[in-house]
């Protein structure tokens, strides 16, 4: 298992244990897990984003901390929040992460997840010019999400 997966799992366990909110001291967590503090930053910025259902606050300095809060929304609000946060273009990897996150939160059924993944993968865009693929993918994913409501 990669260190970034270990860091993410540790943070998720902290969130689960504390009802969806965890305060983390970056240096202490890095020492506990045997990694560098920048690895903690990387995991937080890549896996604990608003699009993935989290709010991250940070306070710098000696007593500084990072507070991560899991956003609690009903299904409709969570999906609309995701749709509204999508930009004009999405890479395959970003779209995949969004779909898998919604699935992990049980906001999408396994069947819908499989269809959405097929729709956002590059194989579905072979006949579309490369320069347009990410913008088409974004629009398709937005429409698919809205139509799950």
What is the predicted pLDDT for the residue at 62? 65
CATH code, domain carrying 127: 1.10.1200
* Residue span of the structural domain in which 107 resides: 75-146
What is the predicted pLDDT for the residue at 88? 95
Q: How many residues does the chain have?
A: 149
Q: What is the pLDDT of residues 24-65, one digit of tens each?
A: 988 899 999 999 988 998 999 888 887 677 889 988 766 678
Whether 47 and 91 share a structural domain: no
Whether 60 and 90 share a structural domain: no
Q: How many structural domains comprise the chain? A: 2
What is the predicted pLDDT for the residue at 47? 86
What is the predicted pLDDT for the residue at 53? 77
The residue ranges of the chain whose pLDDT is under 50 are: none
13 burial via Cβ count (<10 Å: 0-12, 13-18, 19+):
exposed
Whether 79 and 64 share a structural domain: no
Whether 82 and 19 share a structural domain: no
Calculate what percentage of the chain has a pLDDT beyond 90.
58
Q: What's the N-to-C CA distance of the chain in angstroms? A: 36
Whether 94 and 136 share a structural domain: yes
What is the predicted pLDDT for the residue at 59? 81
Whether 136 and 84 share a structural domain: yes
Whether 18 and 59 share a structural domain: yes
What is the predicted pLDDT for the residue at 49? 83
What is the predicted pLDDT for the residue at 92? 95
CATH code, domain carrying 54: 3.30.56.130
Whether 62 and 121 share a structural domain: no
Q: Where does a domain end: 70, 91, 112?
A: 70
Question: In degrees rounded to 5, what are phi and psi of residue 22?
Answer: -135, 135
């Amino acid at each position: 298992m990669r260190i970034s997966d270990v860091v993410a799992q540790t943070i998720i366990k902290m969130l689960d244990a504390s009802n969806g909110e965890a305060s983390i001291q970056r240096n202490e967590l890095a020492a506990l897990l045997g990694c560098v503090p920048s690895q903690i930053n990387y995991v937080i910025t890549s896996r604990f984003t608003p699009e993935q259902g989290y709010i991250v606050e940070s306070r710098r300095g000696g007593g500084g901390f990072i507070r991560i809060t899991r956003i609690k929304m009903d299904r409709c609000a969570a999906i609309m929040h995701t749709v509204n946060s999508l930009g004009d273009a999405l890479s395959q990897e970003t779209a995949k992460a969004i779909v898998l996150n919604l699935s992990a939160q049980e906001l999408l059924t396994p069947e819908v997840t499989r269809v959405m993944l097929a729709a956002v993968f590059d194989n579905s865009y072979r006949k579309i010019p490369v320069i347009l693929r990410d913008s088409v993918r974004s629009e398709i994913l937005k429409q698919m999400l809205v139509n799950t409501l």
